[in-house]
Amino acid sequence: MTDFTRRVANSNDDGVKRGSLSWDVGFTYLGDDSFFGDFVAGLRFNNVTVPKDATITSAKITFRSKDYSPYNYYLKVYGIDEDDTADLSSDPTGRTKTTASVDWDHAGFNTNTDIDTSEIKTIVQEIVNRAGWASGNDMGFLILDDGGSSHYAQMYDYADSTTVCALLTISYTTGSESASISASPSVTPSVSMSGSKSASPSSSVSASVSPSLPEYGFGIKISKPGYDVKTEMNPENLIFTSAYGALGWRETVDIEGTTDANGEIEAEYSHGLGYIPLIFVYVTNYAGQKIAVPSKWESQWDADETLEENFYWYVDGTKIYVKAYSHHYQPVMGGTDTALVGKKYTFQAIIYFNEMNDEY
């Protein structure tokens, strides 16, 4: 069996279409947005040296998450049904997709964590079986929202980092490889070859996953001796996890408001904790970009005017308060200044404990 890996190698090889907005190269977002609609992410991998009609034994795409997001994501992966995929400098979302597709459902993303897609070997198999496929051709993929909860997460793209941008991994065999290779003693410890593993899937594995950590994950984790901290999900085998203690996640809430005649929003949410918790607040701006609050954001409104968006928040022992002020103006002496009226903003507040607590 042969393993092939390749990362995105050019800024024109990753991008996203955010709902009603135009295609943007050099970005990788997954999910959807309540204002703009469903996102479609596109990826292209150069010089995929997998022979035509090779047997694909496994395949996946690995992302490095740039954002923290505790939400459930429901995505669907397709291949771009082309022999040698052209770059993504123009919108690829209308290109023919493979018949094969794969559901990829994921329970949230932790910042700076590698995330694999579901098994996509059927998609890769369809592409390498094409009549015009040849080793060294370029291969493309589209990742669509498939019924998410109006939230999105950003992954590292080529412009962010050439070392942690999207990575394609393909394992394959060819007809020239010996059929007896799978019986080699060197592979007998694997689950697929061991009779004892396949004969006893019912007891220890199913019993060890209860109780388990919350589906949104954790920020800090220390395992007991003899347990792998990278994979251990049973809290009984952990010395500490922030899912249960200091900095443990309590809830994520959306605080919505619509700008009034003055272009302003004042909204609030009652957290009811009785003390001031640790909170991070984000907002999706007019252009559909998720940004940290507080912030002041400027963008081009039209040929003559600039859009300015201002976002703030503060918290006390009972409530979270958010504020916004948005207007567009001519940046010249005596120029016009117009409030942005009727714009709905959604602030996302992520609330953590700031004391040891058994609940989560």
Quick: pLDDT tens for 155-173.
899 988 889 999 999 999 9
pLDDT at 358: 39
Nearest-angstrom CA–CA distance, 342 and 346: 13
In the predicted model, what is the mean pLDDT of residues 302-312? 91
Q: What is the pLDDT of residue 68?
A: 81
* CB-based contact 129:50 (threshold 8 Å): no
Contact 212, 234 (CB under 8 A): yes
Whether the Cβ atoms of residue 102 and residue 122 lie closer than 8 Å to each other: yes
Instruction: Indicate whether this model's pTM tops 0.85.
Output: no
Of 51-65, 207-221, 242-256, where does mean pLDDT reach its minimum?
A: 207-221
Looking from the CA of 329 toward its CB, the CA atoms found within 13 Å total: 13
Is the pLDDT at 321 greater than 90? The verdict is yes
Handedness of CA 263, 308, 65, 120 (dihedral sign): positive
pLDDT at 307: 92
Two tokens at 73? 């994501």
Angle at 271 between CA 265 and CA 276, to 5 degrees: 100
Residue, of 131 and 218, whose pLDDT is higher? 131
pLDDT of amino acid 243: 58
CATH of region 2-175: 2.60.120
What's the token pair of residue 294? 């507080």
Of 275, 295, 278, which is closest to residue 345 (Cα–Cα)?
A: 295
Beta bridge pairs of residue 160: none
Ordered by start, the domain boundaries in the chain are 2-175, 249-352
Q: Which residues contact 227 (CB under 8 A, 6 or more apart)?
A: 237, 238
Q: Supply 85's token pair.
A: 């995929």
Residue 185 pLDDT greater than 50, yes or no: no
What are the backbone angles phi and psi of residue 52, rounded to the nearest 5°? -60, 140
Helix (H, G, I), strand (E, B) or coil at 121: helix
The topology (CATH level 3) of 249-352 is Immunoglobulin-like (2.60.40)
pLDDT, residue 176, reads 61
Rounded-to-10 torsion of CA 139, 111, 250, 226: 100
* Whole-number pLDDT of residue 353: 61
3-class SS at 123?
helix
- Please state, in angstroms and rounded to a whole number, the distance separating the CA atoms of residues 312 and 296: 9
Interval 63-104: pLDDT, tens? 998 878 777 788 899 999 999 999 998 999 999 999 999 998
Alpha-carbon distances of 114 from 111, 149, 159, 341, rounded to whole Å: 9, 22, 17, 41
Question: Which of helix, strand or coil describes residue 268?
Answer: strand
The two structure tokens encoding residue 230: 């990278």
What is the predicted pLDDT for the residue at 273? 76
Q: Residue 236: its pLDDT value, please? A: 66
Task: Look at 212-216, 222-226, 265-269, 327-331 and tell me which has the smallest mean pLDDT.
Answer: 212-216
Q: What is the pLDDT of residue 110?
A: 82
What is the overall mean pLDDT for the chain?
A: 80
Least confident of 95-99, 131-135, 209-213: 209-213
Q: Residue 194: what pLDDT? A: 38
pLDDT at site 332: 76
Interval 42-55 mean pLDDT: 94
Residue with the bigger pLDDT between 198 and 339: it is 339
Say what percent of the chain tops pLDDT 90. 42
On the question of pLDDT at 183 being above 80, the answer is no
Tokens of 304: 């003559």
